[in-house]
């Protein structure tokens, strides 16, 4: 199945006796059974079935199956948020004394999470993205995973996933990729060698900002060394599912990171139009970025689709001529950045990406507020920077709105 076909048919079981086209919302906390023996079997993993929604729910499972197909993995675990999915993805294979090597160009929340890990003896070493020598030098005998975002949010640098996965695998390490800003529409990181892919499905997958959620997908190909990852040993018998089996039987259920069935349902509806929305949003972003760059030399426009972007070549190859739907503008000062945001009439001023509506935010005072100045600059956050998540509006209306807003700004 090609991408748009798989969005509506992939991973879908067409066996409902009433001909339902969607798995309905199983809005229950727990599932009743015929006998105590039957429930015992399910709890002991000796029979399939549902027991308690924190451990599994048919609506959530249907969403997971579709994401697995889309990201070309073998299993997915849907979580209450993107941050819950990231936390579970990392801690499933880490213990005190371990280290993470991560691209420095990360979503602010991930940087905050890595700071929280320090209290548990897990250290993160940041390196400049796509700097292979720096990645190589940062890896040592304590390193247990390599992490990057496909498109750094909001630096908009594009990770060469194939190269980074070769580097990580060469050092015996799995590569975890946050694919939130790119989505499976632009790239399936597992196809390029990533081992675990995480999506904040609150963003493009949902598409309308109506539910917080996240999902991680296991590629199933990494060969775990049980001396380095002793916690996985017990799950060796699950073969390619070792990582997911450990997660489901341990951290995921015990941290209570489960996704609500209602939110899984909303995501499934969103998912079906991911291709249409991304196509339109990427095209709108490309048109808007090109127009802003050529019409307003006083603005610094950053978008991977622009020929002068340092990531243009990687993006062109990896994403096949589309470049995502986020662009950033530097206006020269925090004051002018605020004035521009306030003068725009169409974009919502809110902290999200991937909505059908265009969104604008000043990252330094919001999503990256808790990062240090150095962390902010490494993540591409500056005092005069605005991030625009471009929606599906008619691009002429967006241009007219920027035109009237920029008229009011004195640079
Ligand atoms: C939003 C976001 C997250 C966190 O997801 P939530 O659903 O808000 O918890 C993680 N990574 C990236 C790149 C994001 O944009």
Residue positions counted in the chain: 411
Mean pLDDT of all residues in the chain? 96
State residue 15's pLDDT score.
85
Those residues whose C-beta lies under 8 Å from the C-beta of residue 163, and which sit 6 or more positions away, are 130, 132
Ligand 1-lining residues (CB < 6 angstroms)? 81-83, 107, 109-110, 149, 153, 178, 180-181, 200, 202-203, 212, 214, 353
Q: 48 C-alpha vs ligand 1 centroid, how far in Å?
A: 32
pLDDT of residue 243: 98
Residue 169 has which token pair?
A: 């695998």
Could you tell which of 202, 209, 263, 328 is best to mutate to test the pocket of ligand 1, judged by most ligand atoms within 8 Å of the CB?
Answer: 202
CA distance linking residue 9 with residue 88, whole number of Å: 28
Q: What is the pLDDT of residues 341-365, one digit of tens each?
A: 999 999 999 999 999 999 999 999 9
Q: Which two tokens stand for residue 63?
A: 């969403």
Q: Is the pLDDT of residue 242 over 80?
A: yes
Give the CA dihedral 377, 379, 384, 386, nearest 10 degrees. 180
End-to-end CA distance of the chain: 50
User: Can you tell me whether residue 302 is helix, strand or coil?
Assistant: strand
Partner residues linked to 158 by β-bridges: 151
Quote the Cα angle for 370-374-379, to 5°. 75
Q: Are 94 and 100 in contact (CB under 8 A)?
A: yes
Query: What Cα–Cα distance (Å) separates residue 83 from each residue in 14, 109, 257?
Result: 32, 7, 10
Ligand 1 atom with the smallest distance to the CA of 84 is 9
The pLDDT confidence band at residue 80, using thresholds 50, 70 and 90, is very high
Q: Does the pLDDT value for residue 251 go beyond 90? A: yes
| Encoded tokens for 26 | 């199983």
Q: Which two tokens stand for residue 146?
A: 């390599």
Q: Are 345 and 404 in contact (CB under 8 A)?
A: yes
Nearest to 271 by CA among 195, 208, 350: 208
Name the residue with the closest Cα to ligand 1, atom 5: 82
Which of left, alpha, beta for 362 (phi over 0: left; psi -120 to 50: alpha)? beta
Helices 395-408 and 274-295 sit at what angle, rounded to 10 degrees?
A: 40
- Tell me, in angstroms, the distance from the centre of ligand 1 to residue 342's CA: 24
User: Taking the complete model, does pTM exceed 0.75, yes or no?
Assistant: yes
Nearest Cα neighbor of 329 from 301, 298, 361 is 301
Q: State the pairing for strand pair 123-127/143-149.
A: unpaired
Dihedrals phi, psi of 300, to nearest 5 degrees: -100, 115
Residue 182 Cα to ligand 1 midpoint, Å, equals 12
- Residues ≥6 apart with Cβ < 8 Å to 98: 121, 122, 123, 142, 143, 144
| CA 137 – ligand 1 centroid, Å | 28
> Measured in angstroms, how far is the CA atom of residue 41 from the centroid of ligand 1?
37
Q: Model confidence over 127-172: pLDDT tens digits?
A: 999 999 999 999 999 999 999 999 999 999 999 999 999 999 999 9
């Amino acid at each position: 199945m090609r991408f748009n076909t798989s969005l509506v048919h992939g991973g879908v079981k067409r066996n409902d006796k009433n001909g339902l086209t969607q798995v309905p919302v199983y809005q229950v906390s727990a599932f009743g059974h015929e006998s105590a023996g039957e429930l015992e079997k399910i709890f002991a993993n000796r029979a399939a079935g549902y027991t308690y929604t924190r451990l599994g729910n048919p609506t959530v499972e249907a969403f997971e199956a579709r994401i697995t197909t889309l990201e070309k993995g073998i299993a997915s675990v849907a979580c209450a948020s993107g941050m819950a999915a990231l936390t579970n993805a990392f801690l499933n294979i880490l213990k005190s004394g371990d280290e993470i090597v991560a691209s420095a160009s990360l979503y602010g929340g991930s940087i905050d999470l890595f700071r929280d890990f320090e209290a548990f003896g897990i250290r993160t070493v940041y390196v400049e993205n796509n700097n292979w020598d720096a990645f190589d030098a940062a890896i040592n005998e304590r390193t247990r995973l390599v992490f990057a975002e496909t498109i750094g949010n909001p630096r908009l640098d594009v990770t060469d996933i194939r190269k980074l996965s070769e580097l990580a695998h060469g050092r015996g390490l799995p590569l975890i990729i946050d694919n939130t800003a790119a989505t499976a529409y632009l790239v399936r990181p597992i196809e390029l060698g990533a081992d675990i892919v995480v999506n904040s499905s609150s963003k493009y997958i949902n598409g309308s900002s109506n539910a917080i959620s996240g999902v991680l997908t296991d590629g199933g190909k990494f060969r775990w060394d049980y001396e380095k990852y002793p916690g996985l040993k017990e799950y060796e018998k699950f073969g390619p599912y070792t990582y997911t089996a450990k997660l489901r039987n341990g951290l995921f259920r015990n941290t209570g990171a489960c996704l609500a069935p209602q939110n899984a349902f909303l995501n499934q509806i969103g998912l079906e139009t991911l291709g249409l929305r991304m196509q339109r949003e990427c095209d709108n972003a490309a048109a808007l970025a090109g127009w802003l760059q050529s019409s307003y030399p006083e603005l610094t426009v950053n978008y991977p689709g622009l020929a002068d972007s340092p990531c243009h070549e990687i993006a062109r190859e990896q994403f096949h001529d589309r470049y995502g739907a986020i662009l950033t503008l530097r206006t020269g000062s925090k004051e002018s950045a605020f004035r521009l945001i306030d003068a725009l009439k169409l974009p919502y001023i809110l902290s999200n990406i991937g909505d059908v509506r265009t969104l604008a935010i000043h990252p330094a005072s919001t999503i990256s507020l808790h990062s240090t100045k150095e962390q902010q600059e490494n993540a591409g956050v500056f005092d005069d920077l605005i991030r625009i998540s471009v929606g599906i509006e008619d691009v002429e209306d967006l241009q007219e709105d920027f035109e009237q807003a920029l008229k009011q700004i004195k640079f």
